[in-house]
A and B are shown apart, each in its own frame.
Chain A
């Protein structure tokens, strides 16, 4: 149980275009989803926390106008990288929890590799 999927698994786009990444909880309802970014051989950096039906909470230094997050349902959150540039190339990972506490286990998606040319 507790499977999280991401789509696409990898994407290549041209500089200046926008890319949407989907995160779905397949067999449970996720009250909260998280978006992370992971650079090669580095750790995960939390970008934002997304609660269903409300605005996402962004971490310091993350541009909310560049990384648009929508959590329209209890099973789907999307991250849109707007006007992508090569420095946005990274591995983006989402996670989801079922409860409302930070002690809840996070279930992670397999990640999306974004390459901006």
Chain B
């Protein structure tokens, strides 16, 4: 069975400081992992995805995530937050055995000026 847990319902950072959004997963198969961002009144946008290639995945807008199998984690990071990063972020797991896609509960990122 698959599951994904986003450890923080909301995270607040100051502009220019690092961002860390935490995600833990469980999967019976070799998982594919994704991070999506949802801005108000806009569709979800893919930030990055892991599909069993390099464990450190670089995405758009300066985001990156590291797949750590031993910790079953896929945390999202960014060195320096920008005001435009304020949004809802979803960690998603999808097993390679089919189309079972599970969304995490989401983390709301607030960026203070």
Contact = CB atoms under 8 A, between A and B. Distances in A.
Interface of A: 4, 32, 34, 36, 42-46, 49, 93, 95, 101-103, 105-111
Contacts of B46: 105-107
A42 B105 contact: yes
B58 to A, nearest CB: 15
A101 B105 contact: no
A4 B43 contact: yes
A43 B43 contact: no
B99 A49 contact: yes
Contact of A103 (B32, B41, B90, B100): B32
A43 B103 contact: yes
A46 B98 CA distance: 14
Chain B contact patch, size range: 20 to 34
Contacts of B106: 42-43
Contacts of A43: 90, 103-106
Contacts of A106: 34, 46, 101
Given A43-B105, A102-B94, A109 B43 contact: yes
B90 A102 contact: no
Contact of B94 (A4, A103, A111): A103
B95 interface: yes
A110 B36 CA distance: 13
Nearest to A94: B43
Given A34-B101, A43-B106, A102 B43 contact: no
Interface string B71-113: 0000000000000000000100011111111111110000000
Interface in B19-66: 32, 34, 36, 41-46, 49, 51
A102 B95 contact: yes
